[in-house]
Copies of this chain bind each other. A is one copy, B any other.
Amino acid sequence: MFYSTQSIVIHSIMIKVLVNGFGTIGKRVAEAVQKQEDMRLYGISDVSKGPEMETLLSPKGELHKVDVYASNKEGAEKLRKDNVDIKGTIEEHSDEIDIVVDSTPSGVDKSNKENIYKPNNLKAVFQGGAPDDIAEVKFNADANYQEANGENYVKVVSCNTTSLSRTMNTLEENFGVDEVVANLVRRGGDIPQDGRGPINSIIPVTDVPSHHGPDVKAVMPELDIKTLAVKVPVTYGHVHMVNAELEQDVNEEEIIEAFEKNPRINLLEAEKGFDSTSKVHEMMRDLGRKRSDMQETGVWKETITVEDGTCYWIHMVHQEPIVTPDTIDALSSLLEVERQPRSRDKTNTA
């Protein structure tokens, strides 16, 4: 009896999450939601069936027992034609959903907000590709977790911005940051994006300074940060070269210690052979991480240098999974659910 009562109590605080848009971010967030003790993956939704849905809903896929919904009526028709057994549309089930993670393509997210979430009183977490005006609050779990409390909509900042916010916030909290110059070397595309380039070319972002600086300021308004960016022919990881003027006199050991204490920062040791993005990729493969994902920001330990009051380092960002833990955090922040701090990290990096 006691057991059953307790089970009811637990059930009553389970957050029912719908993941709308089943791509690079959606599939990772859906799997992560399934692993949270206080969340239930209500379902996934989309407007068509792609190769990722094909794999993950197949009997060998991690999500093969998950209910599938259509984002809208047109989507329902398409999905049925593709022989996907859907349970209905988001609208038809909106009363049973506590919150939506919207990981649909840029542009679609905005129309979803106006046509689905708003009329049906659904809270939603949007992703970095969404237009800035989609939500008043931009979100990074390290920098401004509390700010999303009770909001209806929030936008998790992009992968590059997430990695910068994590490292900057760590330094800001520990030593204070005066001024930052960060120059970004971005991957051309993800592994399956084989229609993208460049091949054997470097593409400058001619919008100077780049949008990444203001994006970080969206979650750390006091920070003075300027960024430039280029795109290069790699598929695993962006790399950032950072110069930061700190408010306090600190040495390298103190900075390493501060980074080490942040569970979402990985200190990479070039000396031990992890001296490139592809060596780190292989480390993740050897660790058996699903999809060889690295959710943490990877800072090369040897590059952390303090000289004449300036702190330098180089870090990498695995662009595909890095926002997964922050998206999970955004869900609990919007719903004001009390959680053990950092408890989600165990799930996401295990």
Contact = CB atoms under 8 A, between A and B. Distances in A.
B201 A277 contact: yes
A236 interface: yes
Contacts of A305: 208-209
Nearest to A239: B202
Contact of A203 (B226, B235, B236, B275): B275
Given A310-B226, A313-B208, A276 B183 contact: no
A316 interface: yes
A312 B234 contact: no
A196 to B, nearest CB: 13
Contact of A303 (B199, B204, B279, B307): B204
A300 interface: yes
A142 interface: no
Contact of A202 (B200, B204, B242, B316): B316
A211 to B, nearest CB: 13
A133 B214 CA distance: 44
Interface string A291-334: 00000000010111101001011101000000000000000000
A237 interface: yes
A181 B199 CA distance: 28
Q: How many copies of the chain does the oligomer comprise?
A: 2
Contacts of A278: 198-201
A241 B236 CA distance: 21
Contacts of A233: 200, 232-234
Contact of A277 (B202, B237, B279): B202
Contact of A200 (B198, B206, B234, B275): B234
Interface in A186-203: 198-203
13 contacts: A185-B185, A185-B202, A200-B235, A201-B234, A201-B236, A201-B277, A201-B279, A202-B239, A204-B300, A206-B302, A209-B312, A228-B312, A229-B241
